[in-house]
Amino acid sequence: MKLHEYQAKALLSKYGVPVPRGEVASSLSEVRRIAKSFEGNCVVKVQVHAGGRGKSGGVKLVKDVDSAVAVAEQMLSGNIVTIQTTAEGVPVNELLIEEALDVTKELYLSILVDGGLGRVIVMASEAGGMDIEKVAEDSPDKILKEVIDPNIGLMAYQARNLSIGLGLDREFHSQFIKLLLGAFNAFIQTDCSLIEINPLVITSQGQLLAIDAKASIDDDALFRQKDESFNYDSRQELEIENLARASGLSYVKLDGDVGCLVNGAGLAMATMDVIMAAGATPANFLDVGGGADVNKVHKAVDILLSDSGVKKVFVNIFGGILRCDVVAEGIVAATKSRKTHTPPIVVRMLGTNADEGRKILKEAKIGVHLVNDFTEATKTIKSLS
């Protein structure tokens, strides 16, 4: 679960990581009040769940209150499109207004899980404010790493090793160590999957500060992170994805026109790849899951078809835990309950009760195209365009 920058900063601050003074605003009057408190010298930042906002005009430095309000008005007027969003972009509902700071050095700091090592790692670099992926490619020696033993956690000496490795002056070591230990604590205590401070800066007053911050909470740990004050901002997600989540479906909207209904995440990705390889484009990722019943399949079809971009549907089921007859019944129920036209549905069914499922679909006479393998499936999908 992604946090907004202001939520990430509130979390970090709670654990002793210094952040700039700032407040969140969702109206222009709030913006005016906050900007005034900084005598107009402030930074206005859109709060969206998408990276790359800086290059898309989502972060502006202003010198006076009126400019702050003008910038804010423009930002709040519509969606922002960045390299990480769809063409539609994401809505801007909140702005973070922060004091402007005089920065003398920009660093990079992150805490994340390294799946290969099966450990949490801390990464730091003197190349702050840049895309860390690019730094890793261009000058890998500029990236420092400390691997954390899960039994003892981050040790101060590891933070000291990083501080020295970053070439910080000795006077900054204790600030850096305290900051990193705090951030690590936040990471562990709130089951984060990522904390990224980029840039971590040194100001001309000699203070280390997290000027930008990203944080994500491990979705699978949310059950035990209930009392945290950060709430998920569902406005940042598409309505259709929120609906899917509410129904317990794993759904990701894409830009194509072939709606996909699959069981299993791996097979769902494979299905998207097959569609793409055939020269068509998938409209979504959708895993109905192993434990789906008729109602859930019905719901899945409804959600799938609520995307007006979907011109045809590919149902690809390998029955295992989920029986093909259950899926068939769900499709029939959904199709029959629709008042508007249903796009053509191509169905491939294998595994548990595949014959029964195909029989149900045939007998329902809802005009689905039954296919036997991927080749036939892609041919049929293409023929439908």
Establish if 355 lies at the interface with another protein (CB under 8 A): no
Establish if 167 lies at the interface with another protein (CB under 8 A): no
Establish if 143 lies at the interface with another protein (CB under 8 A): no
Q: Edge-to-edge, what's the strand order for the sheet holding 345-351?
A: 250-253, 284-287, 258-262, 312-319, 345-351, 369-371
Residue position matching structure tokens 């969206």: 48
Among 110, 109, 100, which Cα is nearest to 168's?
109
| Closer Cβ to another protein, 67 or 225, answer by number | 225
Give the tokens for residue 339: 């008042």
| Per-residue contact flags (x/-) with another protein for residues 240 to 259, judged by CB under 8 A | ----------x-x-x-----
Candidate list 6, 108, 232, 251, residue with the active-site label: 108
Establish if 287 lies at the interface with another protein (CB under 8 A): yes
| Per-residue contact flags (x/-) with another protein for residues 200 to 229, judged by CB under 8 A | ------------------xxxx-xx-----
Strands 213-217 and 208-210, by their bridges, are: unpaired
Of 102, 140, 170, 365, the one binding another protein by CB under 8 A: 170
| Closer Cβ to another protein, 150 or 339, answer by number | 150
| Per-residue contact flags (x/-) with another protein for residues 5 to 44, judged by CB under 8 A | ----------------------------------------
Q: Smallest distance, Å, CB 130 to another protein?
A: 14
Give the tokens for residue 159: 């933070």
Establish if 343 lies at the interface with another protein (CB under 8 A): no
Residue position matching structure tokens 């899917």: 244
Establish if 141 lies at the interface with another protein (CB under 8 A): no
Establish if 47 lies at the interface with another protein (CB under 8 A): no
Residues from 65 through 84 that contact another protein (CB under 8 A): 84
Establish if 155 lies at the interface with another protein (CB under 8 A): yes
Establish if 366 lies at the interface with another protein (CB under 8 A): no
Candidate list 5, 98, 106, 196, residue with the active-site label: 196
Give the tokens for residue 302: 């409804």
Among 52, 53, 45, 57, which Cα is nearest to 6's?
45
Give the tokens for residue 104: 């003398």
Q: Smallest distance, Å, CB 233 to another protein?
A: 16
Of 28, 59, 70, 113, the one binding another protein by CB under 8 A: 113
Is 196 in the active site? yes
Establish if 357 lies at the interface with another protein (CB under 8 A): no
Give the tokens for residue 156: 């101060």
| Closer Cβ to another protein, 13 or 250, answer by number | 250
User: Which positions touch another protein (CB under 8 A)?
Assistant: 51, 84, 113, 115-116, 118-120, 133, 136-137, 149-152, 155-157, 160-161, 164, 170, 173-174, 188, 191, 193, 218-221, 223-224, 250, 252, 254, 262-277, 282, 285, 287, 290-291, 318-321, 350-352, 373-375, 378
For the annotated catalytic residues, the residue numbers are 108, 196
